[in-house]
Every structure is written in C-alpha cells, then in structure tokens.
Chain A
Amino acid sequence: MKLAYWMYAGPAHIGTLRVATSFKNVHAIMHAPIGDDYFNVMRSMLERERDFTPVTTSVVDRHVLARGSQEKVVDNITRKDSEEHPDLIVLTPTCTSSILQEDLQNFVERASIEAQADVLLADVNHYRVNELQASDRTLEQIVHYYIDKARKQGNLAESKTEQPSVNIIGISTLGFHNQHDCTELKRLMADLGITVNTVIPEGASVHELKNLPKAWFNLVPYREIGLMAARYLEQEFGTPYIDITPMGVVETARCIRRIQEVINAQGGEVDYEDFINEQTLHVSQAAWFSRSIDCQNLTGKKAVVFGDSTHAAAMTKILAREMGIHVVWAGTYCKYDAEWFKEQVSEYCDELLITDDHTQIADAIARVEPSAIFGTQMERHVGKRLNIPCGVIAAPIHIQNFPIGYKPFLGYEGTNQLVDLIYNSFTLGMEDHLLEIFGGHDTKEVITKGISAGSDLGWNKEAQAELNKVPGFVRGKVKRNTEKFARERGLNEITLEVMYAAKEAVGA
C-alpha cells in the first residue's frame, strides 16, 4: 500500500480509452462498476466534445461478483453493435475486472461471432502499466489486428506512394495540445512536400489502417504514444520511423534533417537546408528572440522542469540550449522510461529527478527556489504557494490547458508559442520581485474604499460569524445588500434573521 494524494499518470484503462475513442466509429465497453466511466466526463468537459463519448460500461455489480458476468458482457457487446454499428468494439478491463479474472477473451470470441463489428480485448495489465504505457500498447494492438486482417483478406497495401509520404502516429484525445500539434505537423509536412498518408489514432477510421504500409516513413512526435506501433510497422514492412520530437528550434531542425535522410535513402532527392534556414531565421521568432535583449536578461536565471518525458526533455533543451537559462533540475514521472530521459537531458541540467511523488517534487522546488517552474498543473499549484510563476508544459492538465485558440507546442509556430510561455513566466516573476522591492505600485495609503467602506449598522456576533462563512469573493456583496435591506426597513442591528430575510428578499 502506498499513501497517495495525487498521481501524474492515470490508470491503464484511461490510456486504452483515449486510443479507442480517438478513432472514428470505435466503441469501447468497460468491464467496470458504476462510476468508473469518469472518462466520459473528462472527455466531454476538457475537450468540450460535441458528440457522445463512445464508451459504455458493462456494469460489474453484486450479481456479477456472485455469479460472474455470464451473458452480460456478450449481450452488451452485441447490443452496442446493433445500436451504433461501430467498426470495432474494444472490451476494456479495469482494475476491478482484472482481479475478478473472468475469461474476457472468451466473451470477445463469442461476441465476435454474433456482432457485425470486430471485437478486441485490450491487452493491458492494470497493476503493471499506467495510462501512457497502456495507450501505446492499445494502439499497437489495434494496428496489428487490422494489418493481420487485411493480410488475410488480401487487401493490404504493400507498395509505397509515388511521392514521399508519412504516417503521423500518436495524436490522441485528451493529449496535451495534440489537436494543435497535429495541424502544425500537417502544415510542416505540406511545406516539405510530403503527403500525409494517415494520422492515427485521432480522427482515423480503422479501415485506413491497411494503408499504413504505403507511407515512406512514420513520424512519432511523442515519446509516450506510438513508438510500439511504429516499431511493429518497421519490423513488418521495414518502414523507418522518426522519434525526434520537433519541439524547439534545434530539435525541429534535427527532425527535419532526419526526415531528409530517410527520404533520400529511399530514392527521394530532397534538400531541406534552405527551408530550415529560412524558417529559423525569418519565420520562427525564436532564434531572433534568443539574440534579443529580452532573452539576454534571462541568462543564468534558474528554472526547474517537470513533466512527461517528451515535454520535459524538449523543454529542458530549449531553456538551456536556446535561451541560456540555468536548469537546476529536470525530471519526469515516466519512471519506466528513465534511461531515455537521462540520456536526453543529462548535459542540459545539473540534476535529474525521476519520481511520481509530488511531495518530493514540491520539496525540490522549495529547496532550489527557481525564478520559474515549467511543469504540470500540480507544479503550478506548488508555484502558487511559493510565489513562483509556472508555465504548464505537460499533463495532468485542467480545462484551461485545452485552449480554443491555435497553440501548438511542435513545429515552427510551436517555437513561437514556447517563447511567449517562457518569457511571460519569467517577466511575471521579475515584476513581482520589483514590486516587492519598491513596496508595491501605489504606496499611498488608500483612504476610502468606495461604497463598501465602514457602516453605521451593527452586526451582532452570530450574524458576523455567519458573514465570515460566506466565501470571500461575494462577502462584500452580501454585506452591502444586507445593510441596504436593513437600512430600508429602519433596522439598526443585523441579526441572523435579518440576514436570511435579506437573502430571501433581495438575494443578498
């Protein structure tokens, strides 16, 4: 047992559901008790999704405990099949169902005889993998399944496209700025004259999967989701994959150069050097920013970085290599991928922190006292407590991290967004600091506070105590309205009764 207040990566089934619901016309059925369908709420709220989340539950209740699921799971699969006609139904085990050890594979086999849809059991172990690992695994599983199926049916696309083309693998629902990154990557590919063959899983149909081998190469922008599928495709079809995240100026250039290599190795004749040069010097503002006086002021400032492997590693490199900022420590909660992370960032920071214990991270922040933090929502709150500004760079995230405006982290536009994010975090901190030194913007004492200033009305003890219970941000309004109410009725003491009467009369 572990005492835990907060976790960075969710449970395995969340990863499976993220991948399943990213595809078009794929339905997931969770084998879970009532209340475990919280994924639907998150998707509907955070992504502001207009459509019903294609996830239902085959409910595990007392009867299931006593007698097993029996026909229930099969019935639920066939029912969903006839109601929604999905292409694929993914039966998703949860922590509860993994302990029950029912033969879910058997249900899947039985259901797939009756159902029009394909039926798959997500092959993830709840107690061994987390959300990110599970999503990687599920994506590979689905790709594998449809490649096999196409092969059996003899309609697998074997030949490459005429022009250089790419599969972008790993864009998913509830991923950090994934939608914007996807647009930016497509734009980048268009600029490079590369056709996008497919994007998976987001927005893809499972019918497109048989076309995956047509691409010249696969691009896996995020470390967490897509690598397993890319490796599988390399092994089956020899399709090379590129796992350099194009985040930051230097890494974007590195990614593009690698694309150039891969294409030229297959008989293409491309030279992207001019493009990289033009973008770096004149389109993206990031290179120019690093020369500007603004950025000079950031030289040697202390920062700490924490997040998933992809974003924390990229951010560390940008801060250290492109802006001259002193990264005291960089860390990730992807403990299973610690080796890779170490290798990526060791030379760009003093110290590494590989943990998923948020208290340890908070202590490390307090100890270092950086001028800015780049982390998850959790680190933002630590920053609030310690009065240190924080830029959010990775999940776990809140609704404000699903902006409607165009905010990619990847590609050349991404480098611009990152400049803003980094610069705004630091200047805010500086401004605060200056204010403290000079004792605030306005050192003259305020004499009147407008209409809410002192009153001639007495509040008795109970009423005053009750008023203090009112949340701070409306207390002033409640006080004003209650006093106005009392004054109009010629009352000179405010009691609990008066307060309630005022609330009833004027909504105070």
Chain B
Amino acid sequence: MTVAAEPQGLNFECETGNYHTFCPISCVAWLYQKIEDSFFLVIGTKTCGYFLQNAMGVMIFAEPRYAMAELEEGDISAQLNDYEELKRLCLQIKRDRNPSVIVWIGTCTTEIIKMDLEGLAPRLESEIGIPIVTARANGLDYAFTQGEDTVLAAMAARCPEKAPMVEGEKKEKNAIASLLNFGKKKEDIATEESEYVKHPPLVLFGSLPDPVVTNLTLELKKQGIKVSGWLPSKRYTELPVLEEGYYVSGVNPFLSRTATTLMRRRKCKLIGAPFPIGPDGTRAWIEKICSVFNIEPKGLDEREAQIWASVEDYVKLLRGKSVFLMGDNLLEISLARFLIRCGMTCPEIGIPYMDKRYQAAELALLEKTCHEMGVPTPRIVEKPDNYNQIQRIHELHPDLVITGMAHANPLEARGINTKWSVEFTFAQIHGFTNTRDILELVTRPLRRNNNLKDLGWDKLVKEEAKV
C-alpha cells in the first residue's frame, strides 16, 4: 500500500523495539567536553553509573565534569528529602568545580518515582546561584543520541532572547553582530560584514567538535552566509541569542525535540534540509539554506565533484557491495543515503525512532538517490527487533553490517563483516572535508578482508546459530 503523502517508494515498518543501543545518558560523555564550563549530574542508580563508567572507558579517569547522584534506598522510598539531598550535592559540586551551569540528567528511576526535577531546579537555582538545566534523558523514552536532543531542547529555553546592546552602538541594526564583534575596530567590522550577503540571522543547532564547527561555518561563509551562533556553544555563558523570526537549521538527524522547541517556544523558522553528512548531504544542506535566503550557491558542483574524485580509492571498494544497518543512533538514514550514493545497495535501515517531519528532506534525498543510482529503496524498520534482524542478515548475507558492539564480534565470527556503529557518533563525519573519515570507517572491515584474504579463516564458530 502506498500512501500519497509519504515519500513514495520508501517502505516504513515497525517491529518490537527489542534492540540494543546505548542509554541516552551517554550524551554527557560528549556534551561535557563540548560545553567547557558545564557540570553534568546524572540522577540515577548504580546501573546508570556502571554503564557510564564502562561505556566511557578512559575518559572516566580524566577527572570528568560529570558525576552520578546515586539514589539509595532512602531516596526511593522518600525517607530522604530530594530537595535537601540535591542541594547538598550541588553545593559540593559548586565548591569543587565552580561550573557555569549544572545539567541534571533525569533517568528511568527519577521518572518512575516521579521526582519533580523540573520543579526543584528553579528553586535550587535561585538558592545556590548557578543555573540548573533539567533534561530527562532516560531509557524509558529515548535511545542513545536522543539524549543530546533532550539536553539541547532544555538549553534552547536558556538562550538569551535579546542581544544586549553595546554602549554607543545602539543604533546599529544587527545587535548580535556588534556583540560578536565587540572589541574590534570599526573598519575591521565593515570589511568583515561585506563578506556576507544580507540575510536574517541563522543559528545552527547540534553539538559538534570545534574543528567541525569551524569547518561548516567556513563552508557557509563561502556562500556569504553568516552563522550568528551555535546551540550549544563552547561555553554555557556563550549560548546564542534567539529572537523571534531567527532562522535555525539542524546538523544532526536526531534533534527533533530541539527543532520543535526552537519553532514552538522560540518562534524560530526551521530550515528543513538533508544533513551535512557526506559530500552529497553537505551540498544539499548548503543549497537548501541558500535557497531560503535567496542566494545562488556558488561552486558547489565543482566542490562536490572534487571531493568524490579525492575519495575514489575508497569508493571503489564499496561499489556494488551491500550494507545492512541494524539501527541504534539515528544517523542511519543519512549514512545509508551517503553509502547508496557511493554505489552500495542497502536492503534494510533499522532506526530507533523515525521523525518523518524533521527528517523529511533527508528522506526525500534518500529516495532520490536510490532512483538516481538505480537501486531498490531500502525498507526502513523503526524500533527493530535484533533477533529478527539477525535472521534476515543470515538470509541476505550483506557485505557489511553496521551494528552495535553486542553483535559485532558474534557476526564477525560467522563470517559477516561489521562496523561498530558507535564510532560514527564520535568520529568527525560532517561537511565536505570529513568525507574521507566516514569512508575510512566504512571501508575498514573491507580493507582488513583484503589484507587477510586467502587465509580461509572467515567462519570461526563450531555450530551455526540456531534459527
């Protein structure tokens, strides 16, 4: 059955939701590094702590700016007062680390015992004098990268509403620009401003490593587009101004709550574009932003062609091969679209959660890519069932399975190539420049095979898994 409203040809399914993924509290791992003056307090149990400790490996030893508020039996049975307990811990954090913001991460346990974190935070905030942002990144509702979404959605509420006016420059129209240029000479500002086309302020959202932020900002600058700010920025104290009517655009596919919050609460206009992953995605992203601002994009054709030419040695390895994405981090649609453009086929895309509105442009590009490359459209399986998927993998025998670590070694032992999906979350994969990095990851198992071929060691289990 085809539904006319949906992108024609794409086939959406939903399974049991019994799949392996990281708990969304893992977002503290990259967010505390990104937001340098923050402290993340995960309010949960030993189970949460054990996960963080093991998932983050060596990071734990680097005096991280995060900790567990470990709930004890007295907290569960409400013998202890939540407010007093949290106050005690937050004061300790203030004394030891003096952060500019404390982010409370609510967990499954705080949900079940209905601890009113959103209610407690403003009271405690005014009492201890440090902003407290509450994000409910729990495993009851969310998967892995969606944790970042809940944190950024909460942060969006904290972005300043009006750019503060700088003394003597009050007449200047673009107040945010003057803020950013504070301290520079008038002439410098003038020349800098002339490099940009006049357009309404644009704020990008999504946490990316600083080098990628610089890179994407520069990419837009080439088109004369000025990025007024990023959510999140390097420091909490530097959160971007969000006035009504500002334009916003997401750089990652898992940020639907943040997008909704920016539209509904902050009255921003969302530029729905494919995500800048792979040269095709980056180009489509820039083109879409340009089109909204009525800018004729320059030199993107050559740019994209140049990138493709420079990675031909890797793309050659992928052409004609098939890839199966089991689904755990919501990057799946964009990755599959890029890999199909590289010449791969893709029978199945598993994904924890599919926001068809937020990802509309990405889904349309996926479909277009399939048609242009002459390959069948993949089935998109929301809330996949890992057991069923493994049966399908045994039937299909794909050349590559992108999956979590729980399945990677067992599949390898059965002669199926795998790439650990979590690496895509931590590697730099955005923009033209990082195309090679994605391909480096994707082709690694295939290159390993080329090195080890003829050894006859590809099946290393005694009996096949029972079906």
Contacts and interface: CB of A to CB of B under 8 A. Distances in A.
**Top 5 nearest A-B pairs by Cβ distance?**
A35-B23, A33-B139, A40-B406, A50-B413, A381-B61
B231 to A, nearest CB: 20
Contacts of A466: 211, 214
Contacts of B465: 51-52
A462 to B, nearest CB: 8
A3 interface: yes
A50 B407 CA distance: 9
Contacts of B142: 34
Interface stretch (B70-78, B156-164, B364-372): B70-78
Given A34-B140, A41-B55, 18 more contacts: A1-B70, A1-B80, A3-B68, A35-B51, A35-B139, A42-B54, A45-B405, A50-B413, A53-B410, A59-B18, A60-B140, A62-B141, A99-B112, A378-B61, A466-B214, A470-B211, A500-B218, A504-B307
Contacts, number: 185
Given A60-B140, A84-B466, A34 B23 contact: yes
A496 interface: yes
Nearest to A94: B47
A85 interface: yes
Contacts of B218: 496-497, 500
A38 interface: yes
B139 A34 contact: yes
Nearest to B88: A1
A396 B68 CA distance: 18
A11 interface: yes
Contact of B46 (A1, A42, A61, A95): A95
B64 interface: yes
A504 B306 contact: yes
23 contacts: A3-B70, A5-B64, A5-B67, A10-B46, A33-B23, A38-B22, A38-B23, A49-B410, A51-B465, A52-B390, A52-B465, A65-B140, A94-B47, A95-B47, A96-B109, A127-B76, A128-B73, A130-B46, A384-B61, A496-B214, A500-B218, A500-B433, A504-B310
B11 interface: no
Given A65-B112, A503-B433, A3 B140 contact: no
A126 B60 contact: no
A469 interface: yes
B310 A11 contact: no
A398 interface: yes
Given A1-B70, A1-B80, A34-B23, A53 B406 contact: yes
Contacts of A369: none
B409 A44 contact: yes
A1 B47 CA distance: 14
A126 B45 contact: yes
Contacts of B390: 52
B53 to A, nearest CB: 6
A100 B45 contact: no
Interface of B: 17-25, 43, 45-47, 49-51, 53-55, 57, 60-61, 64, 67-73, 75-76, 80, 85-86, 88-89, 92-93, 108-109, 111-113, 138-144, 210-211, 214-215, 218, 306-307, 310, 352, 387, 390, 404-410, 413, 432-433, 435-436, 460-461, 465-466
A83 interface: yes
A52 B410 contact: yes
Given A128-B73, A469-B210, A4 B140 contact: no
A507 B436 contact: yes
Given A1-B71, A5-B68, A44-B409, A505 B86 contact: no
A86 to B, nearest CB: 10
Contact of B466 (A3, A10, A85, A99): A85
B406 A37 contact: yes
A203 to B, nearest CB: 14
A34 B143 contact: yes
Nearest to A100: B112
Interface string A49-88: 1111100110111100100000000001000000111000
A378 B60 CA distance: 9
Interface string A122-143: 0000111010000000000000
Nearest to B50: A10
Nearest to A382: B61
Contact of B24 (A2, A35, A505): A35
A2 B138 CA distance: 20
A41 B405 contact: yes
B72 to A, nearest CB: 6
Counting chain B CB atoms within 10 Å of each CB, the highest count among A10, A11, A37 belongs to: A37
Residue among B93, B112, B435 with max Cβ neighbours from chain A (10 Å): B112
Contacts of B70: 1-4
A33 B143 CA distance: 10
A35 B147 CA distance: 12
Given A1-B71, A59-B18, A126-B45, A14 B50 contact: yes
Contacts of A85: 466
A44 B53 contact: no
A500 B57 contact: no
Nearest to B45: A95
